Amino acid sequence: MIRYIQGYNFKDKKALIRVDFNVPLDNNNQIVDSTRIDKTLPTIQKVLADGGAAILMSHLGRPKHGYVDSMSLKHLIPYLTDKLDTIVRFASDCIGNEAEENSKLLQNGEVLLLENVRFHIAEEKGDSTFAQALAKLGDVYINDAFGAVHRKHASTYGIMQYMSDKLAGCLLQEEITNANKLLTSVKKPFTAIIGGTKITDKIQTMEALLDKLDNLLIGGGVANTFHQALGGRLGNSVVEAEQHELALTILHQATEKGVNIVLPTDAVIGDVWSSNARTDLAPNNSIPDDWMALDIGPHTQSLFANVIERSKTILWAGPIGAFELATFSHGTQAIMQAVAKATKKGAFSLIGGGDSATAAAQFGYEKQVSYISTGGGALLTYLANPDLPVIRALGSNYNYQLDRN
């Protein structure tokens, strides 16, 4: 079984905590959305309250060739200092002499933030020497980075073979508990809303959940691929033309299993990707040349909302339009409103991380849904197969039976 931090005493211990501080920063390196930091604060505070010290390691962005100033974790120090109300030291490298010296000098009640682990290519390679170098900095390992739990990287997976005490933090426990509600105790009707750009990012989750779903609502660029696979004309819309067979397979499987699969009927189209674009309405399977589908139209909004508001369990992964452009955000807002209404009536609603979480925050719905995950890809990967190597290494022993009622 996974050991959680609640039953562990961190007095005089240096806890090496893998957090997910991959937060968006503006051009002035100021935090735009602090959700991922805020949600791991209880884990850090537990360590400090027990009389221990916390050593934080994380990635930020996707650096390709070493140090990038805009992806340095040093920019998070003022926020962490304010929230934790304690000394937050910083090591300009996550391994090596400076990190080791800072770790030795760290006093109980203090925090050490290590520099971005992905400044080392060894992190993503899961390099054992790099993992050992990280492990020597602390006495006990805590994973509280759900957003990276599907990665077999050195700081998420490799490090655990060199740490005798391995624990899951508060956020990881919370994420697993909520994700498991879609695997163990689904209330019917169960509706999944799948959006975003690529069908390939969602395919495993769609296939894994088909036996449990009552309704599958498809929007965004994913819907474009389905429509094109069915013979539709999509103009300049985002599509994955090489995934037609995959889309048709999903349609066939859904039909066989009695799942109500709903594709958009009308689209708000634009001539360019801009809030200042010329706009019009068109059938989703007949987008004019030189135009692109950028949002669902009013008929689809109503169609989707009617299904959602009758649901008892809802998963939403991926926006159903270009919500970041004000002109094309109305469909995503309408669906968010429908999810909020269903939740108020007693439905369990789980919003996937990434753009879906950003949309929920942008339109003020964070408190009107059951749970917003911090991990987009991680959540979908977990739902497709909960037996993830990182979870298993932490000591997972979940024995659940998939609902097929």
Residue pair 218/335 in contact by the 8 Å Cβ criterion: no
Catalytic residue, chosen from 235, 354, 375, 376, is 354
Alpha-carbon gap, residue 377 to 398, rounded angstroms: 21
Contact 136, 100 (CB under 8 A): yes
354 is catalytic: yes
Q: What is the 3-state secondary structure (H, E, C) of 132-154?
A: HHHHCCCCEEEECCHHHCCCCCC
Amino acid at 328: F
Q: What is the DSSP letter of 288?
A: P
The neighbour count for residue 360, using CB atoms within 10 Å, is: 25
**β-pair partners for 309:** none
**Hey, CA dihedral for 171, 177, 183, 187, is it positive or negative?**
negative
Residue 402: other Cβ atoms inside 10 A: 12
Annotated catalytic residue 198:
yes
Token readout for 208 is 């894994």
Q: Cβ neighbours of residue 232 under 8 Å, at least 6 residues apart?
A: 284, 285, 286, 287
Contact 321, 331 (CB under 8 A): yes
Residues 6+ apart with CB under 8 A from 233: 285, 286, 287
Instruction: Name the active-site residue from 198, 310, 312, 341.
Output: 198
Strands 292-296 and 266-270: antiparallel
Q: Which of 382, 392, 384 is nearest to 150 (CA)?
A: 382
Rounded to the nearest 10 degrees, how much is the dihedral formed by the CA atoms of 143, 146, 147, 148?
40
Give the gyration radius of the chain's Cα atoms: 22
Q: Which of 36, 39, 118, 151 is labelled catalytic?
A: 36
Residue with tokens 């209880």, as numbered in its chain: 42
Residue whose pair of structure tokens reads 């998939």 in the numeric block? 402
Q: Which runs of E-coded beta strand occur in 288-331?
A: 292-296, 313-317
Neighbours of 252 (CB within 10 A): 10
Catalytic residues: 36, 198, 354, 377
